Amino acid sequence: MPVEESEACVVGVDYGTLSGRAVVVRVSDGAELGSATHDYPHAVLTEALPDGTPLGHDWALQVPGDYVEVLKVAVPAALKAAGIDPADVIGVGTDFTACTMVPTLADGTPLSELPAWRARPHAYVKLWKHHAAQPQADRINDLAAKRGEAWLPRYGGLISSEWEFAKGLQVLEEDPEIYAAMDRWVEAADWIVWQLTGDYVRNACTAGYKGIRQDGHYPSPEFLAALNPDFAAFVAEKLDQPIGQLGDAAGTLSAQAAEWTGLPAGIAVAVGNVDAHVTSAAARALDPGQMVAIMGTSTCHVMNGAEVREVPGMCGVVDGGIVAGLWGYEAGQSGVGDIFGHYVDNLGAEWTHERLTELAAAQKPGEHGLIALDWHSGNRSVLVDHELSGLLVGETLATRPADVYRALIEATAFGTRKIVETFTAAGVPVREFIVAGGLLKNRLLMQIYADVLNMPLSVIGSEQGPALGSAIHAAAAAGAYPDVRTAAAAMGSVDQALYQPSPDHAAIYDELYAEYSTLHDYFGRGTNKVMRKLRAIQRKVSA
């Protein structure tokens, strides 16, 4: 077998919330030959800038140089771990958290790297979980509903404070100087590709899901001017850029990026992509009705559909948003593993996830007498409201930590069921549920999800789903396969129906889910606005 067939490799780089992971993958069969991770030196800035400048409530920033460090450290380390000749690498692909936004000059230089702006919070990367643009999101939603904007139903009727327009409007209104200095407002998914190739190509996925680009158009200047007259030219001046399709090449690896990474200059660099969306390829789940849930600190749900439908509270539906030729649907849960982690962190040192899971696993469904709402980080789908917060009902003096822990797991499962049912009810049926992400290691959690959903759960075969997905896109971009679906069939992997629901458990969970749904609608759909009120009081007294 010629070397170029048997040994060809690709590199996938997955940019997460706290670190970047590079993996070297064999093109022929998807074998993962080596990987390495690198933690971002600045992690997430929530309290202050590196120089001590304080940040407001709900802020979450990052430092763009940290992303480049991943190229310099993790990619060479992964190549070394794989033990391959870097010359065998024919392409590189990346995926990123989204919507994570970098304010840059026209050449891509992040404003936070300029001495003039270094002490200005708005000069930094706004991470996906920066939630301080909620007032702007509220106004965008109100105005869009009032004007009957055609794009609004494509986002389940509400756009999120996490997305490009809300965050961009926040920059304008809170720091107009930074807004003026900002030539481009760039998805980090595209910014990293720009660093690799030297060219700025905007990927179809984030442009659609986070940039409100539908049927080739962004929101109109009239709409933007009605939000704020100075925002009228936002799209034309800061945002618009030629679109690249997922799986295509955005360009080739520049000499500088070759030097950073140790990869050959000139190899294909795939169009930027999003961590959740590339995972569908890694899980070989690109057919309509195959919902992939990437479950970690939060959960993202992605699924293809043959047609466009309006699903209430989905994050979005984008033509070619997951794979070319199908409509990509996205939904999400803002907090999942985060919620469990927070609960454990607040308990004393004697409590661990393992111990709580062991005790919780000894219980029957319904035994603890609790129901929780999983909104500690707000609710992304199907309510799209980051002012919501958590709830626990049923506590008595007999309640023990493992009871609460199990109730929190169940709450996230109920939240997932709410999403699945909403899709199905909207004419986008969920036929298979495939889990990826770190939480699949918790077997109790997986069984609870199977029981609550009353569906078998399939499980991705790779422990590095997003990085493998990026590698699959790299293989397609390099032309090793005709398209992403063919590449995914050869390189992805899945264990089908690994967890089966128990009918007895499912029956109890049906009863509990009915109660969850009542609470969900009462607190989440405006009957009782106590959660918003509590945040408003909190802001008032903390001001």
Question: What's the closest the beta carbon of residue 368 comes to a copy of itself, in angstroms?
Answer: 7
State the first-to-last Cα distance of the chain, in angstroms, to the nearest integer.
69
Count of residues near a copy of itself by CB under 8 A = 51
The residues, ordered by sequence, that sit 6+ positions from 349 with a Cβ below 8 Å of its Cβ are none
Yes or no: say if 437 and 276 are a contact pair by the CB < 8 Å rule.
no
Q: Which of 335, 437, 492, 501 binds a copy of itself (CB under 8 A)?
A: 335
- Per CB under 8 A, 537 contacts a copy of itself: yes
Q: Which of 145, 236, 395, 427 binds a copy of itself (CB under 8 A)?
A: 395
Yes or no: say if 244 and 202 are a contact pair by the CB < 8 Å rule.
yes
Torsion of CA 425, 426, 427, 432, to 10 degrees: -60
Q: Which of 256, 511, 525, 526 binds a copy of itself (CB under 8 A)?
A: 511
CA 447 to chain centre: 24
Question: What's the closest the beta carbon of residue 6 comes to a copy of itself, in angstroms?
Answer: 48
Q: Which of 47, 83, 216, 346 binds a copy of itself (CB under 8 A)?
A: 346
Yes or no: say if 234 and 211 are a contact pair by the CB < 8 Å rule.
no
Q: Which of 367, 496, 525, 526 binds a copy of itself (CB under 8 A)?
A: 367
d(CA 525, CA 516): 13
Please report how the helices 401-425 and 503-524 are oriented relative to each other, as an axis angle in degrees rounded to 10: 80
Indicate the SS3 state at residue 92.
Answer: strand
- Per CB under 8 A, 55 contacts a copy of itself: no
Q: Which of 369, 427, 482, 526 binds a copy of itself (CB under 8 A)?
A: 369
Task: Write the Ramachandran bin of 30: left for phi over 0, alpha for psi from -120 to 50, otherwise beta.
Answer: left
Q: Which of 512, 513, 520, 524 binds a copy of itself (CB under 8 A)?
A: 512
- Per CB under 8 A, 543 contacts a copy of itself: no
Q: Which stretch binds a copy of itself (CB under 8 A): 26-34, 100-108, 335-343, 493-501?
A: 335-343
Indicate the SS3 state at residue 4.
Answer: helix
d(CA 314, CA 331): 5
CA 8 to chain centre: 30
Please report how the helices 401-425 and 337-346 are oriented relative to each other, as an axis angle in degrees rounded to 10: 170
Q: Which of 64, 91, 365, 437 binds a copy of itself (CB under 8 A)?
A: 365
Indicate the SS3 state at residue 422.
Answer: helix
For 217, phi and psi rounded to 5 degrees? -130, 150
Q: Which of 17, 35, 252, 377 binds a copy of itself (CB under 8 A)?
A: 377
Nearer Cβ to a copy of itself (223/340): 340
Q: What is the DSSP letter of 127?
A: -
- Per CB under 8 A, 542 contacts a copy of itself: yes
Q: Which stretch binds a copy of itself (CB under 8 A): 184-192, 239-247, 344-352, 477-485?
A: 344-352
The residues in 396-425 that bind a copy of itself, with binding defined as CB under 8 A, are 396-397, 399-401
- Per CB under 8 A, 371 contacts a copy of itself: yes
Question: What's the closest the beta carbon of residue 277 comes to a copy of itself, in angstroms?
Answer: 25
- Per CB under 8 A, 130 contacts a copy of itself: no
Letter string b/e over residues 444-461, b meaning 16 or more CB atoms within 10 A of that residue's CB: bbbbbbbbbbbbebbbbb
- Per CB under 8 A, 256 contacts a copy of itself: no
Q: Which of 143, 392, 490, 506 binds a copy of itself (CB under 8 A)?
A: 392
d(CA 230, CA 300): 34
Nearer Cβ to a copy of itself (111/512): 512
Please report how the helices 275-282 and 484-491 are oriented relative to each other, as an axis angle in degrees rounded to 10: 60
- Per CB under 8 A, 350 contacts a copy of itself: yes
Q: Which of 229, 242, 364, 503 binds a copy of itself (CB under 8 A)?
A: 364
- Per CB under 8 A, 538 contacts a copy of itself: yes
- Per CB under 8 A, 35 contacts a copy of itself: no
Q: What angle is formed at CA 122 by the lines to CA 119 and CA 211, rounded to 5 degrees?
A: 155
- Per CB under 8 A, 502 contacts a copy of itself: no
- Per CB under 8 A, 506 contacts a copy of itself: no
What tokens appear for 272 in the block? 């930027």
- Per CB under 8 A, 153 contacts a copy of itself: no
Residues contributing to the site for a copy of itself (CB under 8 A)? 335, 338-339, 342, 346-351, 364-371, 376-377, 389-397, 399-401, 508, 511-512, 515, 518-519, 522-523, 528, 530-531, 533-535, 537-538, 540-542
